[in-house]
Amino acid sequence: MMTPMMAGRFLTGTLANNPSGLYARAATALVQGRAEDARADIESARRQHPLLSPLYDKALADAGLAPAD
């Protein structure tokens, strides 16, 4: 479990340069109909963060936002 003190140390939102930010940008792009931009962000996240990306991929799928392959 992440404590509030720890959570404040990690940037979130579309400007964060971590899996959270990359997937937030991808989700925003998908909602806006920019599937290619979303795919680019997702692929970047998968390359940079291969162990965490499956969790974010599942979150996108669960939200009904997974891009079509």
Domain boundaries, the chain: 16-62
Which residues fall within 8 angstroms of residue 53, CB to CB, at 6 or more apart? 19, 42, 45, 46
What is residue 18's predicted lDDT score, i.e. its pLDDT? 86
What is residue 1's predicted lDDT score, i.e. its pLDDT? 46
> For residues 60 and 4, what is the distance between their CA atoms, to the nearest angstrom?
24
Residues of the chain with pLDDT under 50: 1-2, 6-7
Structure tokens at 60: 């996108």
